[in-house]
Chains A and B, each alone.
Chain A
């Protein structure tokens, strides 16, 4: 299938998915009575008197599809609604909190993929040797660790025992002041990147210090996952005929591993990148909440906890679009790594 037509078809499929996600989330919120939903707009005890007019104004007692239609209409006009939890429009909230989460992902993803691939393929190359046993034990332990508990343990050690070494939040207050002052230009709101662009060493160091624990917390489970996957994929590829051929030809063992086996073993790892994206998004909720590293995950969890419907819907739309795009890129990448695979299914 031609690449452009394929991309167009996949993007068209996005429409029913977005429709479904939003209808579903909208339907969940209907468990609450109009009055309960109206109280979300009330900020003071006196405001309770305005409940009937709030219900009237936002049409909270109208039929489900009327309410959904109103919301959808607003979205088409570029208005995602108001995020009560953080007191700003949902659209702005997304761009306000996205950089923190991106920063976590920018540091976590390479760590996850590189450590996972390195130890996974080493374990496979030395099957049943000490390296392999150690990797397997570490992988299965890491895969079984509750992320939130790991976060608490790290906090116990670094907030308590080594007090002040690795502080919570995204920046120390002194650095926060420096960053918000006029001299520091916030190009991306990704602190480390901005610090580099501003050639500001102290901010860079401070931001990195704040990143260490959250990145470890969010990476551990996923490193274990990639390790396991890489190990079994590598073992499969080591059992293939072309490995035997390469060895018989007298190719150096190092080259057999790195060129013949590992390259082919990478394919499943690329396939799960889409899964990894979802895992990071879920992991971000817990990690950001524990370390008060305020990003998308923190915002989404606060919104879900306080049933801030427009925030959850805005977040859902954004996540679904990202998820579909990530999977699209993965599928296209796939054809580059494995020329046998053709777009639109089927193997040559």
Chain B
């Protein structure tokens, strides 16, 4: 309990960390209360599909009816941005959870047993790390077919190797600790040693890295959507909404910034979501990794 209080005090004391907590809290609120903030219109089947008012492709400026305006195809920007928070959380958490799980299993096998298993797993990670992640993810999404779930799968495929390596490294160091030796000396099985003694100590650096990484996951997912390799058309997804704005960057000669609302709004949501996680990640790192703290 006291350690929680200590953590809270450290977060509140640092204005940047506090800003991170507030930003993420606002996004959590938006995601949870999305149906209240941006009500689903009557008779609308899937709440994640942004309702659209007609089919005209030209974006319309903010009005009483559409407070953030509408983007290409008359999709309501406000609705898309609010429900997009749910999409962002879903992608970020699923990718992180699956990645960490794979990383934990393969990394601990690799680090604890060493030898041939280690060699094989590490060569496999080499293969994945030898290639720009975004392009590999693009190829995967393109071949399975674009959807939110494919984006999640593709990001997991390109993301797990760095976690497997991180965890392996931590475990290699922990394996030599006296308490691990002692437990083994007392006749504990490998599984027990890994699960009870090694992993609990390896998990903190992993979680810190994960909190620092969530922003990057969201950015990559948004980039895939932006390239047309993400959500189906009209899905509440910030990356795709930015893509919709691509044809409307330059307005007519006499009003070049006419469609600013379609370009800027979804990007601001991405920026603040990622910023919030990055600030929070920094805060966690400072708190849990005293070696790096408050430098």
**Complex-state Cα separation, A17 to B139, whole angstroms:** 18
**B126/A17 in contact, CB under 8 A:** yes
Distance of B171 from chain A, by nearest CB (Å):
17
**B250/A160 in contact, CB under 8 A:** yes
B274 within 8 A of partner (CB): yes
Instruction: Identify A305's interface contact among B138, B257, B292, CB under 8 A.
Output: B138
9-residue interface stretch from A42-50, A281-289, A332-340? A281-289
A21 within 8 A of partner (CB): yes
Chain A residues near B270 (CB, 8 Å)?
A: 146, 149
**B130/A17 in contact, CB under 8 A:** yes
A319 within 8 A of partner (CB): yes
The residue in chain A whose Cβ has the minimal distance to the Cβ of B138 is: A304
B271 within 8 A of partner (CB): yes
9-residue interface stretch from B42-50, B73-81, B259-267? B259-267
A16 within 8 A of partner (CB): yes
A76 within 8 A of partner (CB): no
Q: In chain B between 129 and 181, which residues have their CB closer than 8 angstroms to a CB of chain A? A: 130-136, 138-140, 142-144
**Complex-state Cα separation, A25 to B128, whole angstroms:** 11
A152 within 8 A of partner (CB): yes
A144 within 8 A of partner (CB): yes
Distance of A123 from chain B, by nearest CB (Å):
11
B128, B249, B257: which has the most chain A beta carbons within 10 Å? B249
Q: A140-B16, A147-B223, A149-B242 are in contact. Are A281 and B135 (CB under 8 A)?
A: yes
A300 within 8 A of partner (CB): yes
9-residue interface stretch from B30-38, B105-113, B196-204, B226-234? B226-234
**Complex-state Cα separation, A120 to B136, whole angstroms:** 32
Distance of A83 from chain B, by nearest CB (Å):
15
Chain B residues near A153 (CB, 8 Å)?
A: 263-264, 267
Chain B 254-295 interface mask (CB, 8 Å, partner A; 1/0) = 001100100110110011001100110010000000001001
B91 within 8 A of partner (CB): no
Chain A residues near B229 (CB, 8 Å)?
A: 305
Chain A residues near B9 (CB, 8 Å)?
A: none
Chain B residues near A140 (CB, 8 Å)?
A: 16, 275, 278-279, 282
A172 within 8 A of partner (CB): no
**Complex-state Cα separation, A163 to B142, whole angstroms:** 35
- Tally of B interface residues using CB under 8 Å: 51
Chain B 207-224 interface mask (CB, 8 Å, partner A; 1/0) = 000000001000100110
Interface of A is mostly: helix
**B227/A232 in contact, CB under 8 A:** no
Chain B residues near A232 (CB, 8 Å)?
A: 292, 295
**Complex-state Cα separation, A31 to B144, whole angstroms:** 6
**Complex-state Cα separation, A89 to B68, whole angstroms:** 48
**A32/B278 in contact, CB under 8 A:** no
Instruction: Identify A315's interface contact among B128, B135, B267, CB under 8 A.
Output: B135
Chain B residues near A112 (CB, 8 Å)?
A: none
Chain A residues near B192 (CB, 8 Å)?
A: none
Q: In chain A between 20 and 66, which residues have their CB closer than 8 angstroms to a CB of chain B? A: 20-21, 24-25, 28-29, 31-32
The residue in chain B whose Cβ has the minimal distance to the Cβ of A297 is: B135
Query: Lowest 8 A-B CB distances belong to which pairs?
Result: A20-B127, A160-B256, A149-B267, A282-B134, A144-B275, A304-B138, A281-B132, A160-B250
14 A-B pairs with C-beta separation under 8 A: A13-B126, A17-B130, A136-B16, A137-B16, A141-B271, A144-B219, A148-B226, A156-B260, A161-B257, A163-B253, A163-B256, A285-B227, A286-B226, A319-B130
